[in-house]
């Protein structure tokens, strides 16, 4: 495997890490909203426990930390060889990123519209239990990251050598 | 001029030159996946990339790529 392939694979690993971490965070954010009985879930249960979605933020923070470390390592390898940088970021990869940004933008707009609609319809019911819901921004951010990284990985999927 | 689809003879030329997709990708400075996509007609390369590929095989552009 040459250096171009190694770095392409490293980029995919970084993106999969971000995708998986954000995915877990999204599940934890959505869980108490989708499953009504879990609305009062605190973990660990006890006097000083935290709402379950706080763990989503912790996982996200950890994902971000891992991402930053891996990304810096990736960038350092690329900086050494400009020709390698051009090869890894070739014209198809750039187009895949553009398509992914477009998809993520549309998804974010859709989430914003849907959450506004849900807020209008569901807010009184959700607030009645005085459950501290995470801010809408978190849902938008999660949706944006998941759709951007997920769609890029989808567009940029690898195929076997023929 | 009629609209057409860009086809290529890359697979044949690559076999003649005894090159793998990875080796060809390294020579034209793109990823192997991009070569794979171009070869299967799933991605239309830029003029620059198409000319680079033709140059690696040592054939005129029209021999590597053609309109259908």
- How far from B33 is each of B18, B42, B51, CA to CA, in Å? 18, 11, 18
- Which two three-digit tokens encode residue A146? 């998941």
Report pLDDT for A140: 87
What DSSP character marks residue B65?
E
When computed from its CA atoms, the radius of gyration of chain B, rounded to whole angstroms, is 11
Q: Chain A partners of B37 at a C-beta cutoff of 8 Å?
A: 92, 159
Q: Assess whether pLDDT exceeds 90 at residue B60.
A: yes
Considering only the beta carbons, identify the residue of A83, A87, A161 that sits closest to B31: A87
**CA A83/CA A92 separation, integer angstroms:** 16
pLDDT higher at A56 or A19? A19
Residue ranges of the alpha helices (H) in A35-90? 53-80, 82-88
Mean pLDDT score across all residues of chain A: 82
Angle between helices B32-39 and B10-17 (to 10 degrees): 130
A52 by Cβ neighbours in 10 Å (0-12 / 13-18 / 19+) ranks as middle
Q: What is the pTM (predicted TM-score) of this model?
A: 0.79
Cα nearest neighbour of B15 on chain A: A162
Contact A142, A31 (CB under 8 A): no
Give the residue carrying structure tokens 């921004």. A137
Report pLDDT for A37: 64
Mean pLDDT score across all residues of chain B: 90
Q: Write down all domains in chain B, each with its CATH number in brackets.
A: 6-67 (1.10.260.40)
Report pLDDT for A132: 55
Q: Assess whether pLDDT exceeds 80 at residue A11.
A: yes
Interface membership of A159 toward B (CB under 8 Å): yes
Whether the upstream peptide bond of residue B59 has omega within 30° of 0, thus cis, is: no
Interface membership of B11 toward A (CB under 8 Å): yes
Closest approach of A105 to chain B, Cα-based (Å): 24
Question: How many other C-beta atoms can be found within 10 angstroms of the C-beta atom of residue A135?
Answer: 9
Mean pLDDT of B47-62: 94
Query: Which tens digit of pLDDT belongs to each residue from A71-91?
Result: 999 999 988 888 888 889 889
Report pLDDT for A27: 87
Contact B24, B35 (CB under 8 A): yes
Report pLDDT for A49: 61
pLDDT band of residue A137 (cuts 50, 70, 90) is: confident
């Amino acid at each position: 495997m040459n250096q171009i392939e190694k770095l392409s694979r490293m980029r995919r690993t970084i993106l999969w890490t971000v995708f998986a971490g954000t995915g877990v965070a999204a599940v934890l954010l959505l869980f108490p909203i989708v499953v009504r009985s879990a609305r009062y879930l605190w973990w660990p249960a006890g006097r000083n426990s935290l709402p379950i979605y706080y763990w989503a933020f912790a996982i996200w923070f950890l994902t971000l930390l891992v991402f930053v470390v891996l990304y810096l390592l990736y960038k350092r390898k690329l900086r050494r060889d400009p020709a390698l940088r051009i090869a890894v970021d070739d014209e198809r990869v750039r187009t895949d990123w553009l398509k992914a940004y477009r998809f993520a933008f549309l998804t974010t707009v859709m989430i914003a519209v849907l959450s506004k609609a849900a807020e209008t319809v569901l807010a009184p019911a959700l607030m009645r239990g005085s459950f501290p819901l995470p801010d809408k921004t978190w849902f938008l951010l999660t949706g944006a990251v998941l759709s951007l990284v997920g769609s890029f990985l989808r567009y940029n999927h690898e195929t076997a050598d023929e | 001029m009629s609209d057409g689809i860009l086809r290529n003879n890359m697979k044949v030329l690559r076999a003649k030159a005894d090159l793998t997709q990875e080796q060809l990708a390294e020579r034209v400075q793109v990823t192997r996946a991009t070569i794979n996509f171009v070869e299967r007609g799933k991605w239309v390369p830029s003029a620059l990339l198409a000319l680079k590929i033709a140059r690696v095989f040592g054939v005129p552009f029209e021999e590597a790529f053609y309109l259908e």
